[in-house]
Amino acid sequence: MTTTGKQIFTTLDKGGALTVEVAETEFPDPTGNQVLVKMEAAPINPSDLALLFGPADLDNAEYSDGKIVAQMAEPFLSGAKGRHGQRLPVGNEGAGTVVAAGDGEAAQALMGQRVACVPGHAFSQYAIAEAAMCLPLGDHSAEDGASAFVNPMTALGFVENAKMEGQKAIVHAAAASNLGQMLNRICQEDDIALVNIVRKQEQVDLLKNLGAKHVVNSSDDNFMDQLRGAIDATDAYYGFDPIGGGKTIDTIFKAMEQVAVGKMSEYSRYGSNQQKKMYIYGRLDLGPTILTPSYGFGWTLSGWLLTPFLQQAGQETAGRMRKRVLDNLTTTFASHYKKRVNLEEMLTKDAATNYRAMKTGEKYLVTPWG
Amino acid sequence: MTTTGKQIFTTLDKGGALTVEVAETEFPDPTGNQVLVKMEAAPINPSDLALLFGPADLDNAEYSDGKIVAQMAEPFLSGAKGRHGQRLPVGNEGAGTVVAAGDGEAAQALMGQRVACVPGHAFSQYAIAEAAMCLPLGDHSAEDGASAFVNPMTALGFVENAKMEGQKAIVHAAAASNLGQMLNRICQEDDIALVNIVRKQEQVDLLKNLGAKHVVNSSDDNFMDQLRGAIDATDAYYGFDPIGGGKTIDTIFKAMEQVAVGKMSEYSRYGSNQQKKMYIYGRLDLGPTILTPSYGFGWTLSGWLLTPFLQQAGQETAGRMRKRVLDNLTTTFASHYKKRVNLEEMLTKDAATNYRAMKTGEKYLVTPWG
């Protein structure tokens, strides 16, 4: 007995046409330690948008009921060769109620419970999820639990990673995001200094109202002074950037090196001995990352993804992180949404162009039965 | 009783005039574990050139006896702010005979011996060096020992670093250099697979004649095919690049990722799980490093310098490396020179423009008493 329901798929053909559509789908019965979750809420995260639309042209797309057909230009079309012709489900995470379970003990234990899950096809009325990755939500609503994984575990992952590497301060770019606000709360709780880089005065105000001590505005004329001052005050030679493209990381490395060189007593052709480390965890800017030769050889830049980090951190750490998220779901790790859309509403021009802009405080929540 | 001798200095004033000149200098008596070395030979390494001339305009410089005055353009002038107005000695390494020693036991033990040393002011008739960093050369000539430190320890450092990180294969860019040839010999001795990237057919021939198995030519139309083939054959997801600027590293990461993705059974929006790591150890190209979003998040790029590496590796490893260099000074770690110049000859237009071009097989040796 299979279950049917509506689900969103994205397909990029090799000619550059990207089709995103709602389709009636059959879901298999869960086996082993799988569960079938009737999905109630799923957030649209930046990481979902990369797969859902990528850099396709949504302004000039064709919109019909539950369907978008847009064009993907080069070099992105060739860059996404691996997905050409594949009909892909979307939606990293969400929450709902377990309506069927495999024979496995872990799966059976979740039967009837509301859980947060990470199925990878959360923009759907049903989803098959691994019991081991489900977080029982107790009395919390699906909306409270919908974003319990990606942003909370990523923000917490940054702090865990910093601690593992002996760091007591973090620089964060695009820091007014939902994730950035969580990171701000975690750093306050854990006494980690945080240098927040934003690009608008209202984002400065927002973070300051949330108790952030160091917020620097890249649109200000004296931005470099602000950044150097904050690095000097915190000893933050370590950070995370979701922008990726352009000169953000270059600017941060430069400021770090200038602070370090300012503390040296004599000139060295090789720059300071201060090790500087940045991670790219997103690609809000798909342009190339630009690194100028302005900060010697004492730096490391690395990609950062949650799943490999959790594997490296080990089960005990991951378990401790999940417990902390659940214990603080409506406080430290709360997400806020601008709007709720069902699957068809999600694919209207107004909605798609709005949530794709990823503006601060404008996150969408998909409620597939709404 | 001080010693006097000729020495080379480089001074960049804040207006952009770079003066490089031979000057009569007083050398203090060595104290403690210092020794005074009468220098007999010192190589001009790429790392010396960065300090000696940087990107100054040598074609339109003024040349007089033992003196060059050249202009340094922006953005390099501002980029070198830390050295403005400072009269800096040059020359990382060289070899000569210890003619005076401090009271320290290590210094006294070297009295009268020929040593390789790393004084940082080797383009000089005398140099003050730390006994602990001197390598007694026994019966070797000063010319044999002049390049015993920078290139040998760097090439050996790459292999030691690869082993520490569990790697069995290395990609090396600009691989036909003196250092690249050493690396080729070390990798053969240590059974580490090496992918040599060069840009000319004669460099392919040169390395193949030295027994290199994988040499790929970036000037060939099918370069990417060659590079992917070599990575696939060796599992080299780890490497070193002395170029720094431009797209070399981007190209290497792309090829690595394409090989890794080719082995995956299904598409992942995040790219392969294959970790890729590259080190920049030089800046032959002072342009920005360009990293495109073409290889997911499983990559790390880091600066690499010998001194911090040796500190991290520890005394035992450093000692073992030094012994290996000394034991194989005229074989594995032999350097070859195109020309010998004294201090004045080093600052003629012909010589300066020639060795600054850093062509394969055209290394200069400074013989300050010649």
Whether A224 and chain B come into contact, CB under 8 Å, resolves to no
User: Is residue B1's pLDDT more than 70?
Assistant: no
Q: Percentage of residues in chain B with pLDDT exceeding 70?
A: 100
Whole-number percent of chain A with pLDDT over 70? 100
Query: Does pLDDT of B267 surpass 80?
Result: no
Count chain A–chain B contacts defined by CB atoms under 8 A.
95
* Contact flag B283-A290 (C-beta cutoff 8 Å): no
A73 confidence band (pLDDT: 50, 70, 90): very high
Confidence grade of residue A78 (pLDDT, cut at 50, 70, 90): confident
The strand pair at B34-43 and B285-291 is best described as unpaired
> For A254-284, what is each residue's pLDDT tens digit?
999 999 999 888 777 778 889 999 999 999 8
B304 shares contact with chain A (CB less than 8 Å): yes
Whether residues A293 and B286 touch (CB distance < 8 A) is answered with: yes
Tell me if A303 and B296 make a contact (CB, 8 A cut-off). yes
pLDDT at A79: 79
Question: How far B332 CA lies from chain A's nearest CA (Å)?
Answer: 27
The pLDDT of residue A1 is 65
Domains of chain B: 3-147+335-366 (3.90.180.10), 152-309 (3.40.50.720)
Residue A292 phi, psi dihedral angles, 5° rounding: -90, 160
Q: Do B300 and A305 touch (CB under 8 A)?
A: no
**Which pTM was predicted?**
0.91
What is the reported pLDDT for B195? 98
pLDDT tens digits along A18-42: 999 999 999 999 999 999 999 999 9
Question: Of A359-368, B55-64, B263-272, which range is least confident?
Answer: B263-272
Dihedral sign (CA A280, A283, A288, A292): negative
Beta-strand relationship, B285-291 and A285-291: antiparallel
Is A315 in the B-facing interface, judged by CB distances under 8 Å? no
Q: Where are the alpha helices (DSSP H) in chain B?
A: 46-52, 76-79, 105-109, 142-145, 150-164, 178-190, 201-209, 223-234, 248-262, 306-313, 315-327, 343-346, 349-356
pLDDT reading at A102 higher than 90:
yes
In whole angstroms, give the CA distance from residue B356 to residue B348.
Answer: 12
Per-residue pLDDT tens for B157-210? 999 999 999 999 999 999 999 999 999 999 999 999 999 999 999 999 999 999
| B34 confidence band (pLDDT: 50, 70, 90) | very high
